[in-house]
């Protein structure tokens, strides 16, 4: 598979016109025809078409839509720096304090480090990212500026959607609500939040603050909620009430949401039904040692689910590779998912069904969709999930982002 004769686009990335001899979702060999950044046709493969001049031979590999990382923190990694030993205290508060004590010393946030993180994600087949970016009195909006600068290097071929994230709390730090408003004015697509009860210790105040701000500015909300069981469920209920009252249907996501998996079945069904009716979604990083969000129950309630890598090699944890398919594998394995239809559904959640997380209506290998494509050496989507093979080719917006 060679791109030597593929012409470069205005961004310097090779421009794709036709990806021949690939198997979309494991189907028969096909050619994917691309015009600019859009798929215009998927046709039976034509052996007479030779590679070169924007035509790439896919060698019969499995083709999937680009992976969607629905929950990342690309601004706060130490990727590329010398190894950083884990330090500080455990727990959310302890990690926040440790991060605040050391981030300036490590030069975080930094466009260069963020660029290295994005490169890792792209090599693993990710073509669209929703990233939380810290906003607080210490860092101001520098994190957003760093992420914008790093992602601009891809000239739109890699989509990065930003959540202005108040990692250090909303109300307990004066000026944070104002900073969140400024972040939205600077282009952030969503406003974040963090454990209203246990971090700000004012669940009504934080929820009213961030959802009211989102309603005023016409943006989405993506709130980290780690609080367990009934405490977490109560906060989701309060959020749902504000979603309905403020007209935020379809614009609010609950990240982590451990509480949902910890509730009694009947209580969980009622809560999920309420969330689904309001178009609320959830994202997970498939945490180990905790019960996983229930795939079938979310689907029945109409609650969309997305997968994300969370932080990678940051001051919270040295773990992480940036591979969203690896997180999807972790979720499926921890959820004891083994049947073909559910294995395929999980892959769709990480790809085509993840379109909502980055504001797309369609994200698939079909005409009219953005040409975000990843090739893997696998028999079918199930095989790709359970083996997590290397990504051979990654295309974003019709441009080649990575070739193994």
Q: Give the model confidence (pLDDT) of 57-94 as tens digits.
A: 999 999 999 999 999 999 999 999 999 999 999 999 99
Helix H, strand E, coil C: the string for the chain is: CCCCCCCECCCCCEECCEEEEEEECCCCCEEEEEECCEEEEEEECCCCCCCECCEEECCCCEEEECEEEEEECCCCECCCCCCCCCCCCCHHHHHHHHHHHHHHHHCCCCHHHHHHHHHHHHHCCEEEEEEEEECECCCECHHHHHHHHHHHCCCCCCEEEEEEECCCCCCCCCCHHHHHHHHHHCCCCEEEEECHHHHHCCHHHHHHHHHHHHHHHCCEEEEEECCCHHHHHHHHHHHHHHHHHHCCCCCEEEEECHHHHHCCHHHHHHHHHHHHHCCCEEEECCCCCCCCCCHHHHHHHCCEEEECCECCCECCCCCCCCCHHHHHHHHHHHCCCCCHHHHHHHHHHHCHHHHHHHCCCCCCCCCCCECCEEEECCCCHHHHHHHCCCEEEEEECCEEEEEC
Of 273, 275, 208, the residue nearest 246 (C-alpha) = 208
Average pLDDT in the 369-373 region?
A: 98
What is the predicted pLDDT for the residue at 7?
61
What is the predicted pLDDT for the residue at 9?
62
Average pLDDT in the 249-270 region?
A: 98
Could you tell me whether strands 159-165 and 126-134 are parallel, antiparallel, or unpaired per DSSP bridges? Answer: parallel
Q: How many Å apart are CA 69 and CA 324, to the nearest integer?
A: 6
pLDDT confidence bin for 176, thresholds 50/70/90? very high
> Does the pLDDT of residue 303 top 60, yes or no?
yes
What is the predicted pLDDT for the residue at 52?
85
> Does the pLDDT of residue 2 top 60, yes or no?
no
6-15, 305-314, 352-361, range with the lowest pLDDT: 6-15
Residue 194's alpha-carbon distances to 34, 198, 226, 244, 260, in angstroms, are 41, 9, 8, 20, 16
Of 245, 256, 315, the residue nearest 101 (C-alpha) = 315
Average pLDDT in the 279-304 region?
A: 97
Sort 273 into a burial class: Cβ within 10 Å, 0-12 / 13-18 / 19+: middle
What digits encode the pLDDT tens for the residues 198-242? 999 999 999 999 999 999 999 999 999 999 999 999 999 999 999
pLDDT confidence bin for 3, thresholds 50/70/90? very low
Average pLDDT in the 290-296 region?
A: 97
What is the predicted pLDDT for the residue at 4?
42
pTM for the model = 0.96
Average pLDDT in the 125-142 region?
A: 97
* CA torsion through residues 271, 272, 274, 280, sign: positive
> Does the pLDDT of residue 314 top 50, yes or no?
yes
Q: Which helix (H) or strand (E) holds 147?
A: helix 142-152
Q: How many Å apart are CA 114 and CA 378, to the nearest integer?
A: 30
**Torsion angle defined by CA atoms of residues 378, 382, 387 and 391, in that order, rounded to the nearest 10 degrees:** 50
Q: Beta strands of 95-241 (E only): which ranges? A: 126-134, 159-165, 190-194, 220-225
**Helix axis angle, 203-217 relative to 229-246, nearest 10°?**
30
What is the predicted pLDDT for the residue at 328?
98
What digits encode the pLDDT tens for the residues 100-115? 999 999 999 999 999 9
Of 60, 68, 61, 52, the residue nearest 14 (C-alpha) = 52
Q: Which domains can be identified in the chain, with CATH numbers?
A: 18-65+364-403 (2.30.40.10), 67-358 (3.20.20.140)
- 123 token code pair: 């090599």
- 3 token code pair: 């791109």
Which DSSP symbol is given to 395? E
Residue 335 in contact with residue 295, Cβ under 8 Å?
Answer: yes
> Does the pLDDT of residue 388 top 90, yes or no?
yes
Between CA 356 and CA 366, with CA 360 as vertex, the angle to 5 degrees is 115
Q: What's the chain's average pLDDT?
A: 96
> Does the pLDDT of residue 251 top 50, yes or no?
yes
């Amino acid at each position: 598979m060679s791109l030597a004769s593929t012409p470069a686009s205005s961004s310097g990335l090779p421009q794709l016109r036709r990806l021949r001899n690939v198997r979309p979702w494991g189907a028969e060999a096909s050619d994917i025809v691309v015009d600019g950044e859009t798929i215009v046709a998927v046709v039976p493969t034509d052996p007479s078409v030779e590679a070169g001049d924007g035509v790439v031979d896919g060698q019969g590999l499995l083709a999937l839509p680009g992976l969607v990382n629905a929950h990342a923190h690309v601004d706060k990694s130490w990727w590329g720096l010398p190894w950083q030993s884990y330090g500080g205290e455990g727990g959310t508060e302890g990690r926040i304090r440790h991060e605040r004590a050391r981030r300036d010393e490590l030069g975080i946030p930094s466009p260069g480090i963020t660029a290295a993180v994005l490169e890792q994600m792209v090599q693993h087949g990710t073509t669209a990212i929703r990233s939380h970016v810290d906003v607080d009195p210490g860092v101001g909006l520098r994190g957003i500026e760093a992420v914008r600068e790093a992602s601009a290097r891809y000239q739109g071929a890699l989509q990065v959607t930003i959540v202005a994230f108040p990692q250090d709390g909303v109300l307990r730090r004066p000026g944070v609500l104002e900073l969140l408003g400024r972040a939205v004015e600077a282009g952030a697509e969503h406003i974040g939040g963090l454990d209203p009860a246990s971090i700000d210790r004012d669940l009504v105040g934080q929820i009213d603050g961030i959802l009211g701000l989102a309603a005023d500015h016409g943006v989405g909300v993506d709130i980290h909620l780690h609080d367990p069981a009934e405490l977490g469920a109560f906060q989701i209920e309060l959020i749902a009430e504000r979603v309905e009252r403020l007209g935020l249907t379809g614009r609010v996501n609950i990240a982590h949401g451990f509480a949902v998996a910890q509730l009694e079945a009947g209580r969980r069904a009622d809560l999920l039904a309420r969330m689904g009716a309001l178009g609320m979604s959830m994202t997970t990083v498939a945490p180990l040692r905790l019960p996983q969000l229930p795939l079938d129950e979310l689907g029945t309630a109409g609650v969309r689910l997305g997968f994300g890598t969370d932080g990678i090699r940051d001051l919270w944890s040295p773990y992480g590779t940036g591979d969203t398919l690896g997180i999807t594998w972790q979720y499926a394995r921890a959820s004891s998912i083994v049947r073909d239809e559910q294995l395929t559904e999980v892959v769709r959640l990480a790809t085509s069904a993840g379109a909502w997380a980055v504001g797309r209506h369609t994200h698939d290998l079909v005409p009219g969709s953005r040409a975000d494509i990843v090739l893997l050496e696998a028999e079918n989507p199930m095989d790709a999930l359970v083996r997590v093979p290397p990504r051979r080719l990654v295309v974003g917006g019709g441009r080649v982002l990575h070739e193994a």
